Structure 1
Amino acid sequence: MATILLTGGTGFIGARTLRYALEKGYHVRASVRSEQKGETLRKSLASFGNKLETVLVPDILAAGAYDEAVKGVTYAVHIASPLPSGSVDDDLEALIIQPAITGTVEMLRSCAKESSVKRVVITSSTVAIHPFTVMIGLESAGDKVYTSEDRAPDVQPPFPATFAAYVQSKIASLRAAEEWMVENKPSFDMITIHPSFVGGINDTAKRAADLLEGTNPFFLAPVLGKEVSKSVGANIANVVDVGDVAKAHIEALDERVQGNQAFLLTNKGGDVAWNDAKAVVAKYYPHAVGKQLPNDGNIEPHFFVNMDIEKTEKTFVCEHAEEGLL
């Protein structure tokens, strides 16, 4: 089976993607920033034996950071990316945006030096598809249906929140990757995966409190009895399960999937609401309602962005129906 170089394997999406790749029989070389993280990763996935190896890449922003890691691999799956951090008083360009661009471009440069690489899959986001102003409700999307060919305009500083800088990091790193591919014409092709708000099983969780990190609180707020009225996450009803995102990353390596294209990983929009979680809990976990789970929370208001996911469904559901991607 082919070898995959996978970055970000200790994160939310990366951990689930790593496990899925191993389950599919791939040999995975997971990059880690420290030997301690590598040991922890190997121990947690010890049941896969020698299918998993780790490689130390302490500085993913360094020139040639992945040169050694990429040797002999057939595919690279680049998931690692800076998350929203710091405050609006920090230099968010240096803290979030430039690292996202540099990390992505350095991966492509390293892959171009290794003739064995056939395809690079990069994790982007739907925030790089539709305007930020639409996402936060300052501008109506109207009847516009966004496709994988759309690209969001830049979010101009000063940034009102660190999340805005994160959005710009996705917009800028996607543009940099696409421009690099056109200018350098490498022997490999590239696929970009664009998830919307991702929730689901957190393979990195060690404690119950860990389940409330990242985007999962938006999914769980109604179940946990939380009232949420103003939040970027809560305001958007475009969602996807982390398991589906993981599958898309690995199924995209199939030679039957044409390269140099993008895929939206989301619901269409308007067909799910955050508060639907309460009905699910009441149906499947009635014994927990009113005890462990208040199940009386509410998220209002919510709106959605219309997404054309026909290509995603055709590629990953029709051709690989047994996987049940979406």
Structure 2
Amino acid sequence: MAGELILLTGGSGHLGYRTLVEALSKGYKVRAAVRSDAKVAEIKAAKSTQPYIDQLSFILVPDITQEGAFDQAVQGVDYIVHLASPLGIPSDDDEANIIQPAIRGTLSILRSAMKESKIRRVVITSSIAAVAPATNGSTKPTQPYTADNVLPDPQGPYPNPFAAYAASKVLAHNRARDFIAKEKPNFTVINIMPTFVIGKNELATTPQAVVSGSNRIALAALLGSKQPQGPPGAACHVDDVAFVHIAALDPKIEGNQNFGLNYNGAKGIVWDDAIDIVKRHFPKEVESGIFPLDGSSPSVPAAFDASRTEEVFNFKQKNFEDMIVSLAGHYAAVSAKL
């Protein structure tokens, strides 16, 4: 209920900041767990934070993988929204830098939550990667699956950072499931499993920062990147993912469920459709060269069915055009300031 206190992790990230603002706008108080004072300053200075400064507080948690890292942070909170997790970036040790931090970060916050009797629900940001069947390089769509799909534990070594990231999501999700089955906590857990999250990242204030994370995939064809093999054609709007994270705190939503987010339009997501969308909405920026539109990114069909999330939360997910307009508009605005 509005006015209650949420502990939110990962609040300086693309999805994390948008979720933080969503929580504040719904009347919740938020205690944001961040790694440094620099992150505090970044969040406090952002325009969307300003109307809600009085509802927002911070606590420093430099290393979320440490046992007991969140023991102080959870004191007195009613809910936890856990978005913080390692990204799939190049690493000389995937196990140490991607796999274990994802697992330990999730278990650390669940164990700390057990020590605060007020907590009624923990919402965890997972990923389609936690439930997506392996394609083994095939470009043919898999059989339809949902957020309730269960995968066996993967085994390394991993061929690339994205494979390590996907494995970290499977392992973190499976260990959380094990934790709930064994510990039987008083709180319930909701797992949110988005596909590629696309849309404006308010905290990205340079073109280089905008072209990062999932947004890099959506911008590829617009900025001249030619990809010989594209990623799955699966995406969701950052606003929708933030909305579901906070709406999932409603006690009317039954606990211990998984909810996927993926725009399943008439033909799914075709990444190169972004070119025609930008031609329609940003003709001046195309003419000026901000968007060269000479790239390509083939789309691998995806079969992730997230329609149940729309039914449970009574909303319609924004379409691919909405995603591209949000993202391209922000990229153009940031580029124009140079």
1:224 and 2:228 matched: no
Residue in structure 2 matched with residue 123 of structure 1 by the alignment: 125
1:222-301 to 2 correspondence within 5 Å? 222-230=221-229, 234-268=230-264, 270-291=267-288, 292-300=290-298
User: What's the offset of the Cα at 1:295?
Assistant: 2.5
Decide whether the 8 Å contact of 2:42 with 2:203 is kept in 1: no
Residue in structure 2 matched with residue 137 of structure 1 by the alignment: 137
Q: 1:158 to 1:28 in 2, by over 3 A?
A: same
User: What's the offset of the Cα at 1:325?
Assistant: 4.2
Q: 1:309 to 1:85 in 2, by over 3 A?
A: closer
**CA offsets 1:64-111 (integer angstroms, 9 cap, x no match):** 111111111111000000112333xx2211111111111101101111
1:109-120 to 2 correspondence within 5 Å? 109-120=111-122
Residue in structure 1 matched with residue 324 of structure 2 by the alignment: none
| Whole-angstrom CA distance in 1 between matches of 2:280 and 2:38 | 42
2:100 is aligned with what amino acid? Q
User: What's the offset of the Cα at 1:141?
Assistant: 4.5
| Whole-angstrom CA distance in 2 between matches of 1:259 and 1:303 | 33
2:244 is aligned with what amino acid? A
Q: Where in structure 2 are there 5+ consecutive unaligned residues?
A: 319-338
Residue in structure 2 matched with residue 18 of structure 1 by the alignment: 20
1:252 is aligned with what amino acid? A
- SS state of the match for residue 209, structure 1? helix
1:151 and 2:153 matched: no
Q: 1:140 to 1:156 in 2, by over 3 A?
A: farther
How many residues align? The count is 312
Q: Where in structure 1 are there 5+ consecutive unaligned residues?
A: none
- SS state of the match for residue 175, structure 2? helix
User: What's the offset of the Cα at 1:41?
Assistant: 2.0
- SS state of the match for residue 287, structure 2? coil
1:1-326 to 2 correspondence within 5 Å? 1-44=3-46, 45-87=49-91, 90-131=92-133, 133-134=134-135, 137-138=137-138, 140-142=140-142, 144-230=143-229, 234-268=230-264, 270-291=267-288, 292-300=290-298, 302-316=299-313, 318=314, 321=315, 324-326=316-318
User: What's the offset of the Cα at 1:251?
Assistant: 0.8
Decide whether the 8 Å contact of 2:237 with 2:317 is kept in 1: no
Decide whether the 8 Å contact of 2:194 with 2:262 is kept in 1: yes
- SS state of the match for residue 169, structure 1? helix
| Whole-angstrom CA distance in 2 between matches of 1:195 and 1:53 | 27
1:245 is aligned with what amino acid? V
| Whole-angstrom CA distance in 2 between matches of 1:222 and 1:106 | 39
| Whole-angstrom CA distance in 1 between matches of 2:63 and 2:286 | 47
- SS state of the match for residue 130, structure 1? coil
1:298 is aligned with what amino acid? S
| Whole-angstrom CA distance in 2 between matches of 1:253 and 1:95 | 31
TM-score, normalising length from structure 2? 0.87
Greater CA drift, 58-67 or 104-113 = 58-67
| Whole-angstrom CA distance in 2 between matches of 1:225 and 1:96 | 30
Decide whether the 8 Å contact of 1:42 with 1:54 is kept in 2: no
Decide whether the 8 Å contact of 2:153 with 2:174 is kept in 1: no
User: What's the offset of the Cα at 1:178?
Assistant: 0.8
2:137 is aligned with what amino acid? G
| Whole-angstrom CA distance in 2 between matches of 1:62 and 1:157 | 23
Decide whether the 8 Å contact of 1:31 with 1:69 is kept in 2: yes
Decide whether the 8 Å contact of 2:139 with 2:300 is kept in 1: no
2:85 is aligned with what amino acid? S
- SS state of the match for residue 173, structure 2? helix
2:285 is aligned with what amino acid? A
- SS state of the match for residue 117, structure 2? coil
- SS state of the match for residue 44, structure 2? helix
**CA offsets 1:165-191 (integer angstroms, 9 cap, x no match):** 111110000001111011111110000
TM-score, normalising length from structure 1? 0.90
Decide whether the 8 Å contact of 2:197 with 2:235 is kept in 1: yes
- SS state of the match for residue 235, structure 1? coil
User: What's the offset of the Cα at 1:272?
Assistant: 2.3
